[in-house]
Structure 1
Amino acid sequence: MAVSKSTLSIVFIVLGGLSVLFGTVLVFVGPIIIDDQIVKNVEINPSNGLSYTMWKDIPVPFFMSVYFLHIVNPNEILNGEKPTVVQRGPYVYRENRWKDNITFHDNHTVSYKEYRQYFFEESMSVGDESDVVTIPNMLVLGASVMMENMPLPVRLLLSTAFKSFNEGPFLTKPVGELMWGYDSKLVDFLNKYFPGMLPTSGKFGLFAEFNNSNTGQFTVFTGQDDIRKVHMVDSWNGLKSVDYWMSEQCNQINGTAGQMWPPFMTKESTMPFYSPDACRSMELVYQRPGVSRGIPVFRFVAPKTLFANGTDYPPNEGFCPCRQSGLLNVSTCRHNSPVFISHPHFFEADPVLLDTVNGLSPNEEEHGLFIDIHPETGVPMNVSIRLQLNLLIKRVFGISETGKIAEVVMPMIWFEESGYIDGPVLNTFRTNLVVLPMVMEYMQYSFIGLGLAGILGAMMLYLSDKVKSRMVGQPCTDVDPSSSACEKTPLLQTPTS
């Protein structure tokens, strides 16, 4: 039995209307469903496998690349000439991080300690840990600046100790020893007569206190009561603020622990985090959108004001005593050692700093700090944190080891901590939090488009049927005689006689 066009048009209108209605409902309900899925996936909850595993064990490749700024003219520096350095490296270390002592609290916070271990990756390095480089001897030049204002007899005693233990102003040692420590009788002497001066009582090395250590006890919000607070630090080592700096604002512990951030970020958002290694909170700002391994991201970078001095940026006055912009004085949290943090090669620092050292060539691609983050979830896709360690060196009267050294902030090493989501974790993340929401978004517009197309087709079918019906029965003089709508009238027959 044939179905009339009118019946078909009614069926198409009903189906099209339902499709438009369903698509319209998805437009309003879809984002709510997607956001709810994101919230469930990013809160710190042991019952949530994906997010909790990423937070607890960080199952992604993470590396620390170390570059030494090898001194090529140590004798000339002692005579007051400008230092010249040559970059050596990178010496790459695979970094294992995991959280332990995880304790959940009733106020929707969780406490933990994060541990870290480093393993040398020769295949990724340019050189080996046996490579010999020359850098300033922090035990001599650092201690000399620290003792600058002590009575002359104390400075003379210190200089005598340097000679007794055969310690000079510069160290020429293998990379492995400079990194992870070497035995020093001078360390034992300083710990005995100047307790608290050094951070270690064992081997002395630039990263000796980092390996097989933790970053202190963090207490962060789980986000289970308010997703806007997830990963935000409630306290560090039981403290709401530190006492390293000169102002209340600079001492505040703000932001996250530096691994994940709250979801639903916009271009106006910032990325605050507290760094125990830098002894302060820092904040990154939006730079541009991008794509990382098929996932849309926002790139956040360090603002030029991050290491600006108090003159160029008054809110940073609390981090002083300051030198040129581009340097952070961390002596107050590094046993008063004259140590400064900066961007590598003094990137975005006062040009005066570049004029004091030969061999530096800063540029954003190699020395800029950035985090590519998926804004909807607050999960970093690609991270590159780059910082440089510098030592203030100068002539100190009474300590002959300092010679005629001109006062200069001397770069020693810079390092890059980098990581990116890849492998099964990336696939799961992309499927659950990128592909499925995208499919739902496309579905809602597809249903609306198909519904409108169905309604339009039904209307065209209905109108064509009406036109055809109206034309049936009209005389052939009013329409095209060849038309099927032309009514054929039989000829009158003439009676025969």
Structure 2
Amino acid sequence: MTIGKAKVAVGFIVVGALTAVFGAVLLFVGPAVMNDQVIKQAMAIDKSKVAVGFIVAGVLTVFFGTVLTFVGPIIIDDQVVKNTVIDPNNEISYTMWKDVPVPFYMSVYFFNVLNPKEILDGEKPMVEQKGPYVYRKRIQKDNITFHANGTVSYREYRTYFFEPSMSSGNESDVVTIPNMLVLPQDSAKTHRLQEFNSSNTGLFTINTGKDDIRKVHKVDSWNGLTELNYWRTPQCNMINGTAGQMWPPFMTRESTLPFYSPDACRSMELVYQRDGQMKGIPLYRYVAPKTLFANGTDYAPNEGFCPCRQSGLLNVSSCRHNSPVFISHPHFFNADPVLLDYVLGLNPTEDEHGLFIDIHPLTGVPLNVSIRLQLNLYMKRVSGITETGKISEVVMPMIWFEESGYIDGPILTNFHTNLVILPSVMEYMQYGFITLGLVTIVIAALVHHKVKRSRTNLTMTSTGVDNPAASFTENGAHYQERKEKCTINNSEK
């Protein structure tokens, strides 16, 4: 993101500051130099006028600093708006939006079943987590089409590349998980994840923000739909928020992060948790509220996502070909504790299994992201299918994903320079101008007062008011004159 005008403005501020500092130096040094020149060259320079000139300069400096306190933020906000709008003319920001330069990684964890035969006999499942199997994720938008109503359509393609050095296993590893079709067990190879390569998230149409920056990145439609048809209530079928990559700028702590997730078949909303910093850049951390996957009994607005089971599970069978699949946080974090009693080997913690997004509030740009979701299979004994044995009714964790990425390198440096350093410089400079102007006014006023007082003393001295000897001599002369006049008058008589 570039902020050219802000840099130019700061340049002028620095030049102005140097000029003001030079003027302040002259305020101290100038009178001494001038006095020396007056003595040497016998030139009469009115110091009082010079002091008045510096007073005027100080007033102008204070005025400029005061104006800058109002104009500075406007300049920054204007540049944020111009660089946030989705516009091909914004080369850097548009390129970042089109081909996300930040490295994203998909970490995959499997729940390897340790006792498959015992499960068929009705015992509790026992699992161990295997992973991570890490894939570098490339995100690229294609079929980009701008529309006259201030929206843009695109398809986003995802490509995954396995990263052996970041993984704790390889793609030939075999794990035992429930088979969604037959149920007893399925020895699955992890390379099946590559089937997602070159997949896309559907046709998104989002607002460019050109007409209203508050709408930038917000979804206008998905696959031509302005609402879904998976769920039971209009509220649950709403497509809210952005596509989940960026949000409108100028966020506050009261702001939320709504976004539509095609993978979850619904809109979701994160809430503010706390302030933070990332390498000097201020951020807001947003997390999932406990009500995100709560059932309709615990949170009435979620009734439309039912039929529900325990809180912490989202039934997505209606958008997954009626497969008995549920989404949750990994290890049933923030879910009903009873789910942990049905499966052995789970240990949920917020640090490892909670999802979060760190947002730069001024721009709405995510700085650090970690989205963690788990796929679960609802299992029970099915009459007539001998493979289900005596299996107990249970929501079985199968696999969980973590999509993570953060801004670093030259992008972070550019971000920090333009959106942290420059605004800070402008803020310090505006108060510096005010302080310098006030100091200049005070010193110049004192100099002016001193010059005026010296001139008054000089006048009084020349008239004898402050010179007793001169006054005595003058009075003596008058007395002698009166005495001579009296002597002449007496001789005439």
* TM-score after normalising by structure 1: 0.82
- CA–CA separation in structure 2 for the residues paired with 1:437 and 1:108: 30
1:53 deviation in Å?
A: 1.0
Matched with 1:329 is: 315
Matched with 1:273 is: 259
- CA–CA separation in structure 2 for the residues paired with 1:38 and 1:298: 18
- 5 Å-filtered alignment, 1:417-456, equals 417-456=403-442
3-state SS of the aligned residue for 1:45?
coil
| 1:69 matched to 2:111 | yes
Matched with 2:239 is: 253
Match of 2:197 among 181, 206, 211: 211
**Cα deviation 1:391-433 (Å, max 9, x = unaligned):** 0011111111111111110011111001111222222223333
Residues 26 and 444, structure 1, Cα contact 8 Å, conserved in 2: yes
Matched with 1:407 is: 393
- CA–CA separation in structure 2 for the residues paired with 1:488 and 1:414: 103
Matched with 2:285 is: 299
**Cα deviation 1:75-94 (Å, max 9, x = unaligned):** 11111111111111111100
Matched with 2:19 is: none
**Cα deviation 1:269-322 (Å, max 9, x = unaligned):** 011000000000000111111111321111111111100000000000000000
Counterpart of 1:100, as a letter, is: D
| 1:238 matched to 2:238 | no
**Cα deviation 1:119-156 (Å, max 9, x = unaligned):** 00011111211222211112212xxxxxxxxxxxxxxx
**Cα deviation 1:243-266 (Å, max 9, x = unaligned):** 000100000101000000011000
- 5 Å-filtered alignment, 1:165-204, equals 169-177=184-192, 179-180=193-194
| 1:101 matched to 2:143 | yes
Matched with 2:160 is: 118
| 1:346 matched to 2:361 | no
Greater C-alpha radius of gyration: 2
| 1:15 matched to 2:57 | yes
Counterpart of 1:274, as a letter, is: Y
1:464 deviation in Å?
A: 4.2
3-state SS of the aligned residue for 1:251?
coil
- CA–CA separation in structure 2 for the residues paired with 1:126 and 1:487: 101
- 5 Å-filtered alignment, 1:275-290, equals 275-290=261-276
Match of 1:89 among 131, 153, 161: 131
**Cα deviation 1:48-100 (Å, max 9, x = unaligned):** 01221111000111100111111111111111111111111111100001000
Matched with 1:139 is: 181
Counterpart of 2:274, as a letter, is: R
Matched with 1:164 is: none
1:11 deviation in Å?
A: 2.7
RMSD (CA atoms): 2.1
Counterpart of 1:45, as a letter, is: D
Matched with 1:162 is: none
| 1:25 matched to 2:11 | no
Counterpart of 1:427, as a letter, is: T
| 1:45 matched to 2:87 | yes
Residues 473 and 487, structure 1, Cα contact 8 Å, conserved in 2: no
CA 1:358 to 1:460, structure 2 compared with 1: closer, same or farther past 3 Å? farther
**Cα deviation 1:463-488 (Å, max 9, x = unaligned):** 4445556667999xxxxxxxxxx979
| 1:227 matched to 2:242 | no
- 5 Å-filtered alignment, 1:364-383, equals 364-383=350-369
Matched with 1:481 is: none
1:456 deviation in Å?
A: 2.0
- CA–CA separation in structure 2 for the residues paired with 1:22 and 1:101: 49
3-state SS of the aligned residue for 2:145?
strand
- CA–CA separation in structure 2 for the residues paired with 1:270 and 1:396: 43
- CA–CA separation in structure 1 for the residues paired with 2:52 and 2:456: 20
1:12 deviation in Å?
A: 2.3
Higher normalized helix content (fraction of residues) = 2
Paired positions, count? 427
Residues 302 and 370, structure 1, Cα contact 8 Å, conserved in 2: yes
- CA–CA separation in structure 1 for the residues paired with 2:213 and 2:400: 36
3-state SS of the aligned residue for 2:368?
strand
- CA–CA separation in structure 2 for the residues paired with 1:215 and 1:341: 18
1:172 deviation in Å?
A: 2.2
- CA–CA separation in structure 2 for the residues paired with 1:252 and 1:10: 68
- CA–CA separation in structure 2 for the residues paired with 1:327 and 1:125: 28
1:461 deviation in Å?
A: 2.8
3-state SS of the aligned residue for 1:248?
coil
**Cα deviation 1:316-364 (Å, max 9, x = unaligned):** 0000000000000000000000000000111111101111111111111
| 1:308 matched to 2:350 | no
Counterpart of 2:377, as a letter, is: L
Counterpart of 2:187, as a letter, is: T
3-state SS of the aligned residue for 1:246?
coil
Unpaired runs of at least 5, structure 2: 1-33, 36-44, 474-493
* TM-score after normalising by structure 2: 0.83
- CA–CA separation in structure 2 for the residues paired with 1:489 and 1:391: 115
- CA–CA separation in structure 2 for the residues paired with 1:373 and 1:458: 48
- CA–CA separation in structure 1 for the residues paired with 2:51 and 2:173: 82
Residues 109 and 221, structure 1, Cα contact 8 Å, conserved in 2: yes
% identical equivalent positions: 70
Counterpart of 2:323, as a letter, is: S
| 1:35 matched to 2:21 | no
Matched with 1:318 is: 304
Matched with 2:98 is: 56
- CA–CA separation in structure 2 for the residues paired with 1:349 and 1:470: 87
3-state SS of the aligned residue for 1:139?
coil
Unpaired runs of at least 5, structure 1: 142-168, 181-207, 476-485
3-state SS of the aligned residue for 1:448?
helix
- CA–CA separation in structure 2 for the residues paired with 1:32 and 1:384: 33
